[in-house]
Amino acid sequence: MLLLILASAAARAQSTPITLLYLNAKSINFYYDRFLLEADGNVRLRTSDGFTVTGDAFSMDLKLNRFMVAGHVTLHDPSGTVSGAAISDFLDFKRIYFVPVTSEPDRWTFLNGDLAHPAKGRVMPGDVFYFPPVTTHPDMSGTGAIIGTKSYVRFVGAVAYVGGVGIPLGSNVVSFSSNQYLAQNSLSGATADITWQVAGSPNALTALHLRYDPTYKLYGSVEQHFVGDHEYAILSVNPATRAEKWWNAMLYEKLGSRFQIQSFTQYYAQQNYLQLPRAAQQTTWINATYAFPHSYVTATSQLVNYNLLGPGSLEVPKPLGGSLAHPTFLQLTANSFQNKIATLPLYENIYEGYGFAHDSVGSQYLNGFPGYWPEKGGAFAPIPVPGLQSYGALCTVQPSKVYTYYCPTYTTIYNTVLGFNLYTPSLKLNHPDSPYQEYYFNASFNKQRQWNSLPHYIDNTNTTLTISRQPSRSLHMYAGYEIQNIGDHYINGGYEQCSQPNGLPTTFCPDSFTSFRGVATLRTTSFGFNDTPTPTFNFSLLVRHHEDYPIPVPGLFAFPANNILGQPLYSWWLGQPPYDATADIRFKILPHTLADISRTLYWYGNPYRAQYWQQNFVIQLLPI
């Protein structure tokens, strides 16, 4: 698939050539805020259209795709050389305006790139030779530049300015292409990221990253983009300078107007530089979607190999043999489009899916059934069991030199999913004179059941109600109430009732857990607002109160795992504290950098408020 995407992108690049401008001058300056390129002193410009211009000063608006050269101008092409005072080329319209130096004042217009037959004496636009004023310091400078019109600029002898301090880069690419696929990113989050785009073209971009996050600290990463009009391939290694390396490949292809396929492959290696790895894992997700007139079908698969090196590697502890599992997941889901229900302000869509999970090796252990392992000096250890899940009759272990066990295990589990969504559009609750006094109501309802061949089924029901208002141009406020019902049902057996010694609650068996059978109800009341007085300043606050069953108890359920920035991987979980508040502020600290600071507090309230506060603090630097 990768080779097909690269070949397709290369073919489209050849079929849709762009104009290249090769610019040299004593000084070339670039201004990010206006995408303006200015050059002075011995300006020499060569174009891929076949002509050369020299002069004293150069200016180009990269967004308007227009350039000008003024002062002692010479224009040279195969038909000859002519001198002039100024030239202005509107590349999109293939129209060049030229003021020649002749015995009589004149003005020439070249149409469709025909420099041999100027249209003389034509009236020109009033701003055709307008040089925009520059009052700020440049963001980048260089001695040469290659300009791919409407795409990129690659600077030669580049110097980037940060806070007025020049940082020599040698070669640096500024991309301003309208191709959305160049914005795709295969790197994980980071607190700060300094990007150096060392090479580029209309269909490729090579970037080196100096990054920092609380997990890996300071490290370097590499990312490579290949893009076309309907496809992309994004490759990266992150971190590249640490022993733990994550090699990523994101691929996407759109075939026609109805079908698209995308994949993400991640290869993890524990290795120093490019030496042989001590551990290796691989995960691949593949997603394909086909659209019908009123619905679409999605096929999703996940292929995992937890150990590519086999027994004896770092991640395979002896004598258990470790996890050699390589599970496979496949799901086929049909979704209807959103449909309005009669004349009601209500929309619906339904979905149905079929899938399976398979693993003949397995990665689980029979906790609670220790075996005697002579290889470990007589220590007791969990017994490894193949398959996805053990369920049913109790397992028995025969303690001998060769261990055998009898346990109903499932190497393949099939599932069927059926669900539907109901929701309302934003409904006005009042009709005041001012739009800043309007209240809006939104509601949504989701119901889903998943049947498994275990036997086992899972019910999910989610109801959300919100009321919102925009009191001013910059301020948005809302209040919401959400109910989630989650039922994890085993037809035979399943959850066992916890026991309380002497009928008294304990840390691991509070009152609400004596009747817990895998069915939980999570109720959340939330209030939030977002204030954006300027494009470079934003403040938001979200406060939530949870009333859950089972009732949360400090220390009973662990908080969810965090990503490398220290943020929880998901926003709700069983046993979350009854109260949490998240504040986030984003503001400009440099001409092209924002700081984002967020802090979340969790607390349980009485009687735990003195000792059960927890917090989460994250800082990020974001480019603009």
- pLDDT at site 136: 84
What mean pLDDT do residues 104-115 have? 85
Distance of CA 443 to the CA centre of its chain: 28
Residues 6 or more apart whose CB falls under 8 angstroms from that of 334 comprise: 295, 296, 297, 351, 352, 353
623 domain residue, yes or no: yes
585 domain residue, yes or no: yes
96 domain residue, yes or no: yes
Cα 454 to Cα 392: distance, rounded to the nearest angstrom: 9
544 domain residue, yes or no: yes
Q: Which of 260, 255, 249 is nearest to 299 (CA)?
A: 260
> pLDDT higher for 528 or 549?
528
Q: Give the domain-ending residue among 120, 145, 170.
A: 145
215 domain residue, yes or no: no
Beta strand pairing call for 66-77 and 80-90: antiparallel
pLDDT, tens digit (0-9, with 9 covering 90-100), for 255-266: 999 999 999 999
- pLDDT at site 317: 42
Of these ranges, 292-301, 562-571, 598-607, the one predicted with the greatest mean pLDDT is 292-301
* Rounded alpha-carbon distances, angstroms, from residue 383 to 154, 313, 322, 388: 60, 20, 11, 15
Where does the pLDDT of residue 313 fall: very low under 50, low under 70, confident under 90, or very high at 90 and above? low
DSSP calls for 159-215: EEEETTEEEEEEEEEEE--S-GGGG---SPP-SEEEEEEEEEETTEEEEEEEEEETT
- pLDDT at site 505: 65
27 domain residue, yes or no: yes
219 domain residue, yes or no: no
Q: Is 50 exceeded by the pLDDT of residue 163?
A: yes
| Percent residues over pLDDT 70 in the chain | 84
Q: Is 60 exceeded by the pLDDT of residue 435?
A: yes
What mean pLDDT do residues 280-288 have? 95
Q: Which of 94-98, 150-154, 326-330, 513-517 has the lowest mean pLDDT?
A: 513-517
- pLDDT at site 403: 43
Write the CATH number for 550. 2.40.160
Residues 6 or more apart whose CB falls under 8 angstroms from that of 544 comprise: 524, 525, 526, 527, 579, 580, 581
Q: Give the domain-ending residue among 121, 145, 169.
A: 145
- pLDDT at site 1: 54
Stated as kind and residue range, the H or E segment containing 383 is strand 379-385
- pLDDT at site 231: 95
Where does the pLDDT of residue 372 fall: very low under 50, low under 70, confident under 90, or very high at 90 and above? very low
- pLDDT at site 590: 80
Q: Is 70 exceeded by the pLDDT of residue 376?
A: no
Q: Is 90 exceeded by the pLDDT of residue 87?
A: yes
Cα 293 to Cα 421: distance, rounded to the nearest angstrom: 19
What mean pLDDT do residues 603-623 have? 74
Q: Is 60 exceeded by the pLDDT of residue 618?
A: yes
Contact 56, 68 (CB under 8 A): no
What mean pLDDT do residues 17-22 have? 86
Q: Is 70 exceeded by the pLDDT of residue 324?
A: yes
Write the CATH number for 100. 2.60.450.10
For the chain, give the mean pLDDT: 85
Contact 296, 290 (CB under 8 A): yes
3-state secondary structure (DSSP) of residue 480 = strand
Q: Is the bond preceding 501 in cis, omega lying within 30 degrees of 0?
A: no
Where does the pLDDT of residue 603 fall: very low under 50, low under 70, confident under 90, or very high at 90 and above? confident
3-class secondary structure per residue, 80-114: EEEEEEEEEEEHHHCEEEEEECCCCCCCEEEECCC
Q: Give the domain-ending residue among 145, 179, 209.
A: 145
- pLDDT at site 614: 76
Residue 66 lies in domain: 19-130+137-145
- pLDDT at site 440: 97
**This model's pTM is above 0.75:** yes
Residues paired with residue 463 on neighbouring β-strands, in sequence order: 445, 483
Contact 257, 298 (CB under 8 A): no
Q: Which of 315, 304, 210 is nearest to 264 (CA)?
A: 304
| Percent residues over pLDDT 90 in the chain | 54
Q: Which of 10-14, 50-54, 234-238, 276-280 has the lowest mean pLDDT?
A: 10-14
- pLDDT at site 172: 94
- pLDDT at site 448: 98
pLDDT, tens digit (0-9, with 9 covering 90-100), for 89-98: 998 888 999 9
Total structural domains within the chain: 2
- pLDDT at site 309: 83
- pLDDT at site 34: 87
236 domain residue, yes or no: no
